[in-house]
Every structure is written in structure tokens, then in C-alpha cells.
Amino acid sequence: MATNLALDDDLIAEAVKLGKHKTKKEAVTAALEQYIKACQREGIKGLIGKVDFVDEFDHKALRRRRRST
């Protein structure tokens, strides 16, 4: 999908240089991927204190039991 955006040339040039990207498109795509990951991490932070952690839980044993049935 072709999109026309008015982006700051200095920021794009710096992103291309720092990220060692070959093209502006590559730099913008990488930046968007990182932005999405950061937003997803923020969503995960909302689970802090809401998920119980059981230190002795053995997920491998659970898998073995599921396979044997």
C-alpha cells in the first residue's frame, strides 16, 4: 500500500544511519515494529499482580500427562 507521509528528513536520516538500514522504508518499518512491540509490552505490564506464579509448577510434567491420555 503506497502512503505519502511528511516525515522529518533529519529523523529519517538518523534512523537509517543508526539502524544501518539500506532504505528509508526499511528504517520506518523497523521503527513501527519496535513501536508495536513497546505497546504490547505496556499491555503485559497491566498483568503485574494479577497472575499467580507457582515456583514448583512443572509444565513439562503437564505436557507428558496430556500426551499419555
In a domain, 57, yes or no: no
In a domain, 23, yes or no: yes
Predicted pLDDT of residue 69:
64
- Confidence band of 66 (pLDDT split at 50, 70, 90): confident
Predicted pLDDT of residue 29:
96
In a domain, 59, yes or no: no
Torsion angles phi and psi, residue 28, rounded to 5 = -65, -40
Predicted pLDDT of residue 48:
82
**Given the C-alpha cell 497472575, which residue does it identify?**
51
What's the rounded Cα separation, in Å, for the pair 26 and 21? 6
Q: Which domain holds residue 30?
A: 8-50
In a domain, 21, yes or no: yes
Which distant-in-sequence residues (6+ apart) come within 8 Å of 7 by Cβ?
Answer: 28
| pLDDT of 5 above 80 | yes
Q: How many domains does the chain have?
A: 1
In a domain, 31, yes or no: yes
Write out pLDDT tens, residues 23-62: 999 999 999 999 999 999 888 888 888 888 888 888 888 8
Which spans in the chain are helix H? 9-19, 24-45, 59-68
In a domain, 62, yes or no: no
In a domain, 36, yes or no: yes
